[in-house]
C-alpha cells in the first residue's frame, strides 16, 4: 500500500510540475525560472502540509525521488517547448486546456495525499484539520506559483478551484475514515470527483459569486 501511495504522490508531483512549467513559460521565464516555478508548484503544498503536522524536515528533503521527479519533468517540459517553440506559441489556447486537465489531475491526487498524511500522523479524529491538510496540499503549490508570477492566485478568482479540493477532501474523509471503505475505492472516487468538478467548471465557466 505504501508503494501505491508513493506512486500516486509521484504522479501528482509530475502533473503539478508540468502545470508549473507551462505557467512559467507563458510568463517568458528563463530555464532556471521555469525550474524553480515548476518545483515550487509540485512540492510547495506538500511542504506546507508537512510543517503543519510536524513532519520535519519535510518529505521532499528526505525522499529525493520527489525533487528528482519534479525537476526532471520540468526540464523535459522546457526542452519540448524549446524544440517546438513555434507550435507552442501558435497553440497557447490548446496548451492552456491541456494544462488545465493536468492541473485538475494533480489537484485530485494531492488532496487525497494531504488527507492521508493527516490520518497517518494520528489526526483522524480531527476532521477539520485533516480536511484542511487535504485542501492546503492540493492548492498550496498553485498559490505559491501564482504569487511568484505576480498574478492573483487562481483559487481566489475563478473556476471553483479550492472548492473542488475542499469537497473532495470532505468526501475522502467520510469514505476513508468514517465509513472505512477500501482505500483504493476512496482514492479513485475522490480523484474522479475533483477532476470532474474542475473540468466541468472550466467547460461551463462556473465561478463563485463576486461583489461586482
* Domain annotation covers residue 95: yes
**Using an 8 Å Cβ cutoff, are 41 and 144 in contact?**
yes
How does the average pLDDT of the chain come out, rounded?
A: 90
Q: Which residues span the domain enclosing 44? A: 2-204
In this predicted model, which residue has the larger pLDDT, 93 or 33?
33
pLDDT at 63 over 90: no
Q: How far apart are CA 108 and CA 91, in angstroms?
A: 26
Confidence of residue 207 (pLDDT cuts 50, 70, 90): confident
Dihedral sign from CA coordinates of 148, 34, 44, 97: positive
Q: What count of residues does the chain have? A: 212
pLDDT at 157 over 90: no
> What predicted TM-score, i.e. pTM, was given to this entire model?
0.90
Whole-angstrom Cα Rg for the chain:
17
Number of domains the chain is built from: 1
* Domain annotation covers residue 211: no
Q: What is the rounded average pLDDT of the residues 137-141?
A: 93
Q: What is the rounded average pLDDT of the residues 83-95?
A: 78
In this predicted model, which residue has the larger pLDDT, 87 or 143?
143
Among 32-46, 157-171, 189-203, whose mean pLDDT is lowest? 157-171
Main-chain dihedrals φ then ψ at residue 182, nearest 5 degrees:
-55, 140
Confidence of residue 169 (pLDDT cuts 50, 70, 90): very high
* Domain annotation covers residue 209: no
Tell me the pLDDT tens digit for each residue of 101-120.
Answer: 888 888 999 999 999 999 99
CA dihedral 163, 164, 166, 168 (to 10 degrees): 160
pLDDT at 155 over 70: yes
Confidence of residue 188 (pLDDT cuts 50, 70, 90): very high
pLDDT at 181 over 90: yes
Burial environment of residue 121 by CB neighbours within 10 A (0 to 12, 13 to 18, 19 or more): middle
How confident is the model at residue 92, as a pLDDT? 73
Confidence of residue 158 (pLDDT cuts 50, 70, 90): low
* Domain annotation covers residue 13: yes
* Domain annotation covers residue 177: yes
- Cell numbers standing for residue 175: 469514505
Confidence of residue 1 (pLDDT cuts 50, 70, 90): low
* Domain annotation covers residue 212: no
pLDDT at 131 over 80: yes
* Domain annotation covers residue 210: no
Amino acid at each position: 500500500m505504501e508503494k501505491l501511495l508513493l506512486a500516486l504522490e509521484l504522479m501528482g508531483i509530475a502533473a503539478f510540475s508540468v502545470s508549473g512549467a507551462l505557467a512559467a513559460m507563458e510568463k517568458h521565464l528563463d530555464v532556471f525560472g521555469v525550474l524553480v516555478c515548476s518545483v515550487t508548484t509540485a512540492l510547495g503544498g506538500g511542504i506546507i502540509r508537512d510543517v503543519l503536522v510536524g513532519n520535519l524536515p519535510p518529505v521532499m528533503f528526505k525522499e529525493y525521488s520527489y525533487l528528482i521527479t519534479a525537476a526532471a519533468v520540468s526540464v523535459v517540459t522546457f526542452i519540448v517547448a524549446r524544440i517546438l517553440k513555434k507550435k507552442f506559441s501558435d497553440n497557447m489556447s490548446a496548451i492552456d486546456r491541456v494544462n488545465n486537465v493536468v492541473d485538475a489531475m494533480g489537484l485530485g491526487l494531492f488532496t487525497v495525499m494531504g488527507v492521508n498524511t493527516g490520518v497517518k500522523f494520528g489526526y483522524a479524529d480531527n476532521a477539520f484539520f485533516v480536511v484542511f491538510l487535504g485542501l492546503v496540499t492540493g492548492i498550496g503549490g498553485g498559490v505559491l506559483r501564482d504569487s511568484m508570477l505576480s498574478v492573483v492566485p487562481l483559487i481566489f478568482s475563478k473556476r471553483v478551484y479550492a472548492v473542488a479540493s475542499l469537497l473532495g477532501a470532505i468526501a475522502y474523509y467520510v469514505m476513508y475514515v468514517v465509513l472505512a471503505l477500501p482505500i483504493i475505492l476512496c482514492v479513485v472516487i475522490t480523484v474522479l470527483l475533483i477532476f470532474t468538478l474542475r473540468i466541468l467548471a472550466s467547460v461551463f465557466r462556473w465561478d463563485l459569486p463576486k461583489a461586482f
